[in-house]
Structure 1
Amino acid sequence: MSAAKRDGLERLWPLYGLEAESVAEFSPQIIDVGFGNGESTLDLISRTCTERILAVDIYRPGVASLLLSLPADQAQRVRIVRGDIMEVLPFVAPETLQLIQVLFPDPWPKRRHSRRRLLRPDTLPLFTSRLARDGVLFVASDDHGYAGEIHQACRRLSDLAVTRPPSRASTKYGRRSDSVYELAWRRVAT
């Protein structure tokens, strides 16, 4: 990581950074999972007016990039957790989120690694339990097999209905992909 990113992380983390245990106090309305270098979070900021956005990623240089790119006037409505979303979600109040955005989660293509995938039949109920009525789970993937598995798992959840995907940021990773599968579900029951 560059010296500028290390400096930005040190300077700006106290303003924007959160530990997972403090997420409930922030009370997010939108969660951006695995934001990479921050392009998707910056897009969410530009497309929303007042919603509180929580950006979660484990990639330290990406966290530093986002910190350095955040507009100074957004300090009240944006927070970042450097960590695993599965350790963060238990601290998010149930039925409160308008949007959970997961762009290009690692598909772990080898069968023996499939249990490492983020979105699986055993993890999706935790995600959906955090959505408010009419809240949306939005996923973009460039892996046809993984996208199909996510779609099948979400179809089995009675509180979700397929909906039109929201617009998404053109991210570095998304631009590299030949085919992008956008999947979105709206929570219909609480």
Structure 2
Amino acid sequence: MTQTPPDAQSQDRPQNRRLYGRASGHKLTERQQTLVDTRLPALQWPDEGDLDPEALLPGFETYVLEVGFGGAEHLIGQAQRAPQTGFFGIEPFLNGVAKALVGIDDHDLENVRVKRSDARDEMIRMPDGAFEMIFLLFPDPWPKKRHAKRRFVQPDTAAEFARLLKPGGRLRVATDVRAYADHALPILMNTDGLSWTGEQASDWTENPPDHIVTRYQSKHLGDIDPVFFDFLKD
């Protein structure tokens, strides 16, 4: 099945910049392709109009957003742990979306909705205070200085994170690339409405108690050990 890369749908976006590389990778398995064809249309949401998590996934106590969920291990694991919470995952990479669909199918999850898209396009359509938690875990680091503008954490996206969190809600950004950590932390610390919770080194160098370690993290592909920046919405 041929699909239009999500970035091709976003040419009119202000400060248009591509944040990821390929939109798809190796050929999907037969099961993955079947789930993309049959399950994804029902789990996605429309490309236009306002996005209200409570309307799209009604009946849950709280809602969580994961931006760029990769292989979906963290998204699926968190959804299994918290069946009373509604989870929204946005990922531009087709293979990652297919893996999420397999996880949803394997565990009969009814508290997850996913979309293949650029998260910037989706976040701006969501209401203030929509989420109790937002995850941005190991985003594409674009480590070269000339590519810094392609990193997901920018002043505008950080402001969107703050807007989308409920008072007392949390944002978690994780990376294993020093250049990304040095880039992202000052931006987040200078974002109105966000307060960094880190007080001692262990607060950002150790896996948070509720964290789920993925295969990607276990590969230690970055140039530093993972760091976790947790922020509270004022």
Is the contact made by 1:30 and 1:52 (CA closer than 8 Å) also made in structure 2? yes
Corresponding residue number in structure 2 for 1:186: 232
Selected match of 1:30 from 55, 64, 74: 64
Q: Measured at CA, do residues 43 and 130 of structure 1 come closer, stay the same or move farther in structure 2, by a change above 3 Å? A: same
Alignment-derived partner of residue 161 in structure 1? 195
TM-score (norm 2): 0.74
2:64 paired with 1:18 = no
Residues 93 and 116, structure 2, Cα contact 8 Å, conserved in 1:
yes
**Sequence identity (%):** 26
Corresponding residue of 1:67: 101
Judge conservation of contact 1:138–1:166 (CA < 8 Å) in 2: no
Cα distance in 2 for partners of 1:93, 1:166 equals 29
**More relative contact order, 1 or 2 (CA 8 Å, 6+ apart):** 1
Q: TM-score, normalised by structure 1?
A: 0.90
Residue 151 of structure 1, aligned match among 182, 185, 195: 185
Alignment of 1:36-185 (within 5 A): 36-70=70-104, 71=106, 73-75=108-110, 77-163=111-197, 165=208, 167-177=210-220, 179-185=225-231
Indicate the SS of the match to 2:182. helix
> Which deviates the most, 120-129 or 157-166?
157-166
Q: CA RMSD in A?
A: 1.9
Larger mean Cα displacement after TM superposition, 171-180 or 12-21? 12-21
CA contact (8 A) 1:29 1:97 kept: yes
1:63-98 deviations in whole A, cap 9, x for unaligned? 1111011156422x2101110010000121111210
Q: Between Structure 1 and Structure 2, how many residues are aligned?
A: 187
Counterpart among 8, 32, 38 of residue 5 in structure 1: 32
**CA positional deviation for 1:15:** 3.3
Distance 1:8 1:49 in 2: 22
- Cα 1:88/1:166, change in 2 over 3 Å: farther
| Aligned equivalents of 1:145, 1:41: Cα separation in 2 | 25
Is residue 43–residue 168 contact of structure 1 (8 Å, CA) maintained in 2?
A: no
- TM superposition shift of 1:145: 2.2
CA distance in 2 between counterparts of 1:65 and 1:147 reads 27
Moved more, 8-17 or 30-39: 8-17
TM-aligned CA distance change 1:166 to 1:157, over 3 Å: farther
Greater share of strand? 1
Structure 1 residues 110, 99: CA separation in 2 closer, same or farther (over 3 Å shift)?
Answer: same
Structure 1 regions of 5+ residues with no counterpart?
A: none
Return the alpha-carbon distance in structure 1 between the equivalents of residues 138 and 63 of structure 2: 21
Structure having the higher Rg:
2
Q: Mark the runs of 5 or more structure 2 residues left unpaired by the alignment.
A: 1-27, 198-202
- Cα distance between partner residues in 2 of 1:72 and 1:175: 23
